[in-house]
Amino acid sequence: MKRLASWAKIFSRAEESDNSGLFVSLDELIEQRRYVGYLRHITPKLSVSNQAGDVKSAFKGRGIELEEIRNYTFGDDVRDMDWRVTAKKGTPYVKLYAEEKDREIYVAADMSPYMVFGTKKQLKSVSVAKIAGLFGWMALENKDRFGCLIYDGSQNYIFKPKNHQANLIAIFKKLAEVSQKILLPHEASGSFAGHLRILQQSIKTGASVFIVSDFNFMTEELQRTIAALSKKAKVYLINVFDVLEDFAPKSGEYMAANGKEKFVFNSSGKLFQKAYKSHFELKRAAVKNFALKFGCRYIEVRGDIELYKQLKLF
Tens digits of residue pLDDT in 77-118: 777 888 888 898 888 988 876 555 568 999 999 999 999 999
Give the predicted TM-score (pTM) of the model: 0.78
**What stretch of H or E contains 192?**
helix 192-202
User: Could you give the CA distance from residue 118 to residue 310 in angstroms, rounded to a whole number?
Assistant: 18
Cα 124–139–192 angle (5° rounding)? Answer: 40
* Side-chain half-sphere exposure of 232, counting CA atoms within 13 A: 16
Distances (CA, A) of 198 to 134, 191, 201, 222, 263: 24, 11, 5, 13, 39
With the CA atoms of 104, 155, 303 and 49 taken in that order, what torsion angle do they form, in degrees rounded to the nearest 10? -50
**167 Cβ partners below 8 Å, 6+ apart?**
146, 159
Q: Decide if 310 contacts 127 (C-beta within 8 A).
A: no
Which pLDDT does position 299 carry in this prediction? 94
* Side-chain half-sphere exposure of 37, counting CA atoms within 13 A: 3
Q: Please give the average per-residue pLDDT across 163-171, as a whole number.
A: 96
Q: Please give the average per-residue pLDDT across 173-183, as a whole number.
A: 97
